[in-house]
Structure 1
Amino acid sequence: MSNFQLTYDALDVRDGLQVSRSPWGENDVLGRLNWMTDSTRAAALAEADGSSVFDLGVTYEVGMPCWVEAGDPKFDIYMTHTPRGTAIDRLSGADPGVHDRYPYAGAAISMYSHAGTHLCSLTHFGHNGMFWNGVNEFDHLASRSWTLGGVTPPIAVRAVLLDVAAARGVEELAASHEITVEDLTLTIDAQQTTPRSGDIVLIRTGRMRQWPDPAAFLPSPPGLGMAAARYLCEEVGAMCVGVDCGGEVLPPSEPGTFLPVHCYMFATAGTPMFENLYLEELSAAGVHDLVFTAAPLKIAGTTGMPVRPIAYPRRTGS
């Protein structure tokens, strides 16, 4: 088996929708992240030019865009202990007067696991009641979370930024612009940067220019269409795909579907997706060939992992 196997055997096919069997074993929920090894990570990091560092994560703050239409919680932060309050309520257990000299403050956060910059796991969307590698709610879902997934290895890999907005000569793609294969190939030709199998492919639509205004950022985003997603997964051989908004075009071009690109990428292609990446500084600097690093939070059983991605230019000639 080639390290970069791009299509997978079917566990279930109904109405043209395939759930694939993982070639990495019956308990696999990482999909193409299995392409990474200690040696591939070391090779990628050896190519990183540390003279420039690009932070691809957004700031988590009250009022930022969060997808709450289905009832999921927005991002929130609140104080659990304040300096004066702790001196009054003495919940810390310290003697009276101690916190006058040693003030204490604490905070807690709550949020949907797909808020802000995050990595979607393969247990996020599926087809016909089944997820990648046959994961299903009858065998793998406990009271509060999946019994598997949510923990990924540290990510360090070559990546390519496909700045579709810039290639199309606009600052931001129009609302509900469906990114096509033509958009991607035009961008590759314009940049003279070719993604290889095993790369992470980052897609810039320009929608991040509207962050953190929910009214401007969330409605009718541009994003990948199904043909473009298939091209990235089955022809380019992307390990992961990352987009500067929600990933796929909304509303979807095919009526009666619900986030069909996500469902295909996760359940059929085994390709995780980063969402809400901040790609504006990379675009402004004209950096398209890079080394991408990320350490998603290890949250057992979750469908989405908050992440702080960092990118470095890839050394010329590497």
Structure 2
Amino acid sequence: MPKFIFSNSSYLVSFNTPQEVKEINKKLAKEKKFKVAEVYDIDEFLDTIDRVKYFIDIYIFLDGIDQDTLNILFNALGPLKLDFILFNPSTDLDIPEKHHERIVFGDFTEDFMKAAFSVRDRSRMPGGLNKFSVSCANYIFPFIFKDISTVWTLDSGPGIEECDYMTICENSFESTTGRFVLRVNEENLRSNSEALQGETEGKLEDYFREFMNQYIGIVNYNFTKIDIKAKISIPQSYDRNSRVNFGKIYFPEIVLREEKNIFSLTLGYIDHEGKKLFDLTEVPFTPPSSDVEFL
């Protein structure tokens, strides 16, 4: 069997995939913009995990798999410290207790597979990021958009879909990268802000970039409490006529939205070496101790 030619993309590696799951994986990959490597031969699997750089997850479907094959899989994955999920093991298989939390039983419907993906996606997010991110947004927003009174909360949906502007920024440290995407509905913005009703598109984009710059600056300030010194990229703003390329690396994301449906913010982190991400659970949000100059 010919080897996969891997691009510098994020991959879901799926071993011994049932036919009905292949189409679900394909559909999910198109929606989330990642790639799937379907492998059935043990040598091909070992070659694949050796050559893929960015893993979303590893699915191992155990129907028809014998103990020797399973032991080879465990021995290969252990030293690499790669996470994986075991679907529907038979009672004949001896699975070490340390892997029991990775076992999932299901009927492989589309709803079941999407739910499994979502649960795993959330588990890859840094601890405490949800509450921390909302606190950052509610703190910094009034400094930038002074005449808009609103509240930011977590959003279970995709955020603002009918957006006219998009501003993208990243912060990074060591092998970890965070991506932040601000989406804006212009009509809702102008109707809720007298100060911005007559502003040019270029001036609006200045505000969006400033918001992102200050937001991530607050994030990086709080990172110093856990000895993280992160750098921020230059925010890039795009209008409705721009073609935006997010690249080929998949970021698990959370979505924030404010109550007037003007803005939404998606953000997420990945570690390019597969290391465990930072944890903000015990980090209380605090604003900078010194004055910050805003627009």
Is TM-score (shorter-chain normalized) higher than 0.5? no
- The higher relative CO (CA closer than 8 Å, separation ≥ 6) is in 1
